[in-house]
Amino acid sequence: MAEDAPQLLPDFDSHWKRAIADTYDLGPVPAFVARWWCEYAIARDPGPDAHVRDLHRRAAETDDFAEAQALLEEVSKIRYWTR
């Protein structure tokens, strides 16, 4: 991750600390790894990364709830297929 998608490291480290390190609970590790694998898989490839960022930007800028929901559902599908 540090080599291919260093922009993720601050959020990864923060999430690791909050979800795993500070709690001493290993139960969430599989979900944590699955989530961050998706983030890494998207961020390391400029095409999907730009597409997901564009979908988020468009969802944040629209005043139409249905449009925002559809855009975020597309992001969700992309993340689902990266697993």
Encode pLDDT of 14-67 as tens digits.
999 999 999 999 999 999 999 999 999 999 999 999 999 999 999 999 999 999
CB atoms within 10 A of CB 75: 17
Pick from 69, 71, 15: which is nearest to 39 by CA?
A: 15
Q: What CA–CA distance (Å, rounded) separates 29 from 27?
A: 6
Going by C-alpha positions, the residue among 32, 41, 56, 28 that lies closest to residue 1 is 41
- Look at residue 77 and tell me whether its pLDDT is greater than 90: yes
| C-beta separation of 7 from 43 below 8 A | yes
